[in-house]
Every structure is written in C-alpha cells, then in structure tokens.
Chains A and B, each alone.
Chain A
Amino acid sequence: MNALLAIPFVVPLLGAALALLLRRHRRVQAGVAVATLAVVVADTALLLAATADGTVLTSQAGDWEAPLGITIVADPLAALLLAVSSVVLLVVQLYAIGQDIGGLSRAMPQVFHPIYLVLTAGVCLSFLAGDLFNLFVGFEIMLTASYALITQAPTRARVRASMIYTVVSLTSSILFLTGIALVYGLTGTVNLADIAVKLGSAPAELRMVLALLFLVVFGIKSAIVPMHFWLPDSYPVAITRISAIFAALLTKVAVYAIIRSQTLLFGRDDISTVLLCVAIATMLVGIFGALVQDDINRLMSFALVSHIGFMIFGLGVNSVAALAGVVIYLVHHIVVQANLFLVNGLIRQYVGHSSLRSMRGLTTVSPVLALYFFLPAMSLAGIPPLSGFVAKVALFQAGVGTGGWLVYTALAAGVVTSLLTLMAIFRVWARGFWGTPMPDMVEARERLKRGSHLGGLKFMAVMTGVMVVFGVAIAVCAGPLSEVAFTAAHGLMNGSAYIEAVLGSDTR
C-alpha cells in the first residue's frame, strides 16, 4: 500500500475525529485542523511531483488483486486537481479561523472544523477512487459533509435552501447507484479500468444509455443546464466561506467525474454532439441569469454555472489539446471561484449584506478590497494576462483546431459568454464599487476599525490576498502547468496507461 495515496483521505478523517474530541479546546482544535490540511497539502504536492511525467500510481487496499479489491489511483489529472484543491481548502480554512477569531461569524467553529475535514476526505477520495463504488462513497462523504455545512448558522432561508440542495443531491446519488447497478449487471465489475476493458464487448446501444445516464448523474452535481436550478438557490444562502468551498470544489469534483467517466469508460462512444449542445446552453443560460441578479453571491453562482459550460465544451471537442484546455480551466476556475466568494465574504463584513441595490463606493471604503475583487473578476472574464485568459485561449485554440459547425457555434457562444461575464462584472463594479460611499457604510467601517474584530478581519483579508496571489501565480506558471495538463490529457485520451497501471500489463 502506497502511503502517499492513502494520506489525502485517511489523515483528514483521523483529523476530523480528533477535532471532534477536542471541541472544548478551540485553539488546539483549530491547530489540529490546520496541521491536518497542511499534511494533505504536502502529500498532494509530492503526489503531483511523482505523477507529473505521466506516471500512474496505484495502490490496492489490503493487497487484494486489482479487479477484486479497492483500488486507489493517482494519474496526473487527479494529482493536479488534488494539489490545487488542497491548497484552496487550507486557505479557506485559515480564512474561516480568522473569521472566528474576530467573532465575525455565527457559525460554531467547534462543529465547523470536523465537518470541514470530512469534506476534505470526501473530495480527495473522489479524485483518487479507482472504482465506481468508491467514487460513489467519496461523493457521499463529500455531500453528507456539505449537507451539514450548508445548515451552519441556520436561519429559515438556510434550512429551506439546504432542503432543496439535499433532495437534489440525493436524487443524483440514487441515479448514480442505479448506474452502478446497471454497469455491474453488464460487466460484472466496478473497477474503472476493468469496466473500460469489458465495456468494449458490450452492445453499443447499452453503452450509449450508460454514458448518458452518467452524464445526467454528474451533470446534476456539476449544475450543467438544464440541471442547474438548485445551485443558485442554495449556494448563495450558506455562509460565505462555505459557499466559497462549495463553488470552488464540489461542482469541479463532479466535472472531474464527468471527464473520467466519459473518457475512460465511454471513450469509444461519441456523445460530443450532446456535450456541445449542453455546453452552449450552460454558458448562455448561466450568464444571462447572472446579468439580472442584484445579489453579488447569486450573481457569482450564476456565473459559476455559466463557466462550467466551458469545461463541458472542451470535453465535447474531444481532442488532446481540448482536454488539456479543460484541465487548465479546472485549475483556474477552482482558484478564481474560491477567491471571488472570499471577497464577497469580506464585502459582507464591511457592508452587512451582499445586495447591489444598497451598496456604493466600496473603492473608497476599502481600496484593497477593490483590488482583491478586480483581479479574480478580470481573470474570470478572461482578460489577459490573467489565468482565465490562458485557460480560454487553450480551449478556443483547441476548438478552432478541430473545426465543424457545432464547435464554431460553441466557440461563438464562449466568446459571447466571456463578454457578458465582463458586463456582469462591470455592473457589480459600477453599482457597488464606484461612487461616493453610503453614509452607513462609512460608519460601519469606522465601527469595524475601532472594534475588537479588527485582528480577525485583517487575517481574513490576508488570506484573501494569498488566494489572489495564488490565482496570479497560475498565470505566471502557465508553461509548466500546460505541460502537466497536456500529459494529463494524453493519459485521458489514451486510457491504456491507466488500465495497465491498475490491472497489470499482462491482462490486456
């Protein structure tokens, strides 16, 4: 058993148990939580270093032979996403600790930390799972933790929103289970690599049905249109640091599952027409929704839906370059979404709400906050030289390289979406950041500066700054990042390395 592969989900679970026991000692508990995530960050960095050249690491739990036992697999894609996610998880956690030190949140930290660590374990297990049932278990760990997190600091609105969220997620989980049952009935295995081999001899129609079923299952979880309705109703209602981690990771884990299932399992079947149509609808519906919102968090949630479309577009184009674009886009989007929601959290601290109707002159109230919002927002819209530009250029180049009228239509939709994203951001900027600040906003700032909250608030701002720097660093490191992305994309397009690593070379 390769310990590197087990640490990302075993250590957070142990950490969660320890944090639960230490709930009366707040500082020790926070220390345990931070230390746990620091271990995960270090471990995933090592994993990334070990797999960056295209190596696929595998580990069989309890030394059971491959298609029988539980397989943990890290290929370059999983390792890259794990590394980025764990850094984002750590930064958001530090932000949350800052908020708790300042006494600025009504969430109970003693409950927050253990659940947050369980969420981390779920995210990591989903990325590393080498069989379909463990993927299901990883998703369930992640989602169950998220059900509990979304009801933190419960209000009537939050309880209602979490009801919708829980029911929708559960429905998709049950469909997932149905999919597992059908795949098992057809192939007699749940091991991803083994399924990939055995589905080859299955009837093409059945494969197509399964491919579409799994697209629906993960489509609900990643909020692609027309299965996106739940997201803008539930994410913005949760407390901001939790919406930040949901927006950054939960949908992206589902996108990862879409990529994994559609390339490794159903790579032989061509559903690119469906994917491209869904991508166009997702981009446009999402961004038109964002344009009419008055609440910053709701606006960002619709923008999130819209930008999932770009990743589905890359998958629909279905070439090595396009998949590499998707990988870069995933990395960029995880960081930028977390960043924007963290800034929204800071805005809420300053203004007390997140409605654009009664917000003006944030630039004067806090120039740093304006900068923190400006950089990731421009990155989201794809303005050079930020990471969003890098990701979009990679995707668009791949699209042009492939050609075909549907791809060109999707490209046009992508360009329109980028421009409309810019427009949505300008609306926020013009209404919230420009102008003379409202008197009560200035008062609120003075109160914050005098109050005992200042230390916590500063810490939150520093952590948001770290996230901004991380986002900029992605653009700076675009060269090495695209190398890893291309290695990952080659691995996805040609599954034999993955299959051989899991099953051994003699079984093919």
Chain B
Amino acid sequence: MSAPGFTLVVVAAVLYSSGFYLLLQRSLMRVVFGILVLGHAANVSLMLTDRAITLPPLLTEHEGPLSDPLPQAMALTAIVITFGVTTFLLALAYRVWLGDENDEVPADLEDRRIGRLAEPEDSA
C-alpha cells in the first residue's frame, strides 16, 4: 500500500474511534461532535481506494490516467447530507437545552427501577 493510502487508513481509524467515543458521552453537544467526526471518518474511507487520491483529478487538462471521480462524488453527496443533518441535530440539542437547562442524556428511570428490584437478592 502506498504512503497516502496508509496515512488515510490511520486517519480513518483515529476518526472512527474518537467519533464513537464521543457518541457514547452523556452531553448532547459531545454526541453531535461525535456524529460530525464519524461523518468525516466515512468520507475519508470513501477516499481510501488508491485510484481516488494519488492521481490528478478529473478537471485538469492532464493527459493520461486520472483519479476515479465516483468516490469523490459520493463523498460530496455524503458531506451535504451530514452537514444538513448536523445542523438539524444542533437545533434539536439547543431545544433540549432550552427545555431542561442541561443537555445531558437522562438516566433510564425504568432501568434504574428494575435494577433496584434485583439488588436485595444480590446482597442476600
């Protein structure tokens, strides 16, 4: 694998892991950032095929082999979609904050209740 390809693999790996880490946080702002980072990770992985990045782009006057435009087109579509939905998510997070004065994902009360039911048996 060529150097740019390898670099992209490392970048994608870091982006995916940090994205999922942020996604699992309780603060909604961090969750939104997690989605944003994951979106980048997916776009980088679309660029992972060597043909897509090491050769000159389609638009030049260049003669000879050109880079594959399809992953670029798909990444572009994906960027637009992630961008739009992230804006929506930000608006939602703001609404949650307006309503509750905090932006944490609430604890599952039903789950806590069932957890308490199980406790006496554990201690006995």
Beta-carbon nearest neighbor of A180 in chain B: B74
Cβ–Cβ contact B77 & A137, under 8 A: yes
Chain A's interface size range is 20 to 34
Chain A nearest CB from B53 CB (Å) reads 12
Cβ–Cβ contact B92 & A171, under 8 A: no
Determine whether A159 belongs to the interface, using a CB cutoff of 8 Å to chain B: yes
Interface residues of B (CB under 8 A from A): 23, 28, 31, 35, 38-39, 41-43, 45-46, 48-49, 70-71, 74, 77-78, 81-82, 84-85, 88-89, 92-93, 95-96, 99-100, 105-106
Cβ–Cβ contact A159 & B96, under 8 A: yes
Cβ–Cβ contact A166 & B89, under 8 A: yes
Complex Cα spacing A175 to B45, Å: 11
Per a CB cutoff under 8 Å, which of A140, A160, A167, A184 touches B70? A184
Chain B nearest CB from A328 CB (Å) reads 34
List chain A residues, Cβ under 8 A from B38.
171, 174
Chain A nearest CB from B114 CB (Å) reads 9
List chain B residues, Cβ under 8 A from A175.
42
- Listed A/B pairs (19) with beta-carbon separation below 8 Å: A147-B85, A148-B88, A156-B100, A160-B106, A163-B89, A166-B88, A166-B89, A166-B92, A167-B89, A174-B39, A174-B42, A175-B42, A177-B74, A181-B42, A181-B74, A182-B45, A184-B70, A184-B74, A185-B49
Beta-carbon nearest neighbor of A170 in chain B: B35
Chain A nearest CB from B19 CB (Å) reads 8
Determine whether A496 belongs to the interface, using a CB cutoff of 8 Å to chain B: no
Beta-carbon nearest neighbor of B94 in chain A: A159
Complex Cα spacing A174 to B85, Å: 12
Known contacts A137-B77, A159-B99, A177 near B46 by CB under 8 Å: yes
Main secondary structure of the interface of B (DSSP, over half): helix
Complex Cα spacing A156 to B97, Å: 10
Complex Cα spacing A171 to B78, Å: 13
List chain A residues, Cβ under 8 A from B89.
163, 166-167, 170
Complex Cα spacing A160 to B31, Å: 13
Cβ–Cβ contact B92 & A159, under 8 A: yes
Known contacts A174-B41, A177-B46, A181-B42, A144 near B93 by CB under 8 Å: no
Determine whether A154 belongs to the interface, using a CB cutoff of 8 Å to chain B: yes
Cβ–Cβ contact B100 & A144, under 8 A: no
Determine whether A133 belongs to the interface, using a CB cutoff of 8 Å to chain B: yes
List chain B residues, Cβ under 8 A from A190.
70, 74
Complex Cα spacing A417 to B81, Å: 39
Known contacts A181-B46, A184-B70, A154 near B35 by CB under 8 Å: no
List chain B residues, Cβ under 8 A from A297.
none
List chain A residues, Cβ under 8 A from B88.
144, 147-148, 166
Complex Cα spacing A470 to B82, Å: 39
0/1 per residue, A249-273, Cβ < 8 Å to B?
0000000000000000000000000
Cβ–Cβ contact A184 & B71, under 8 A: yes
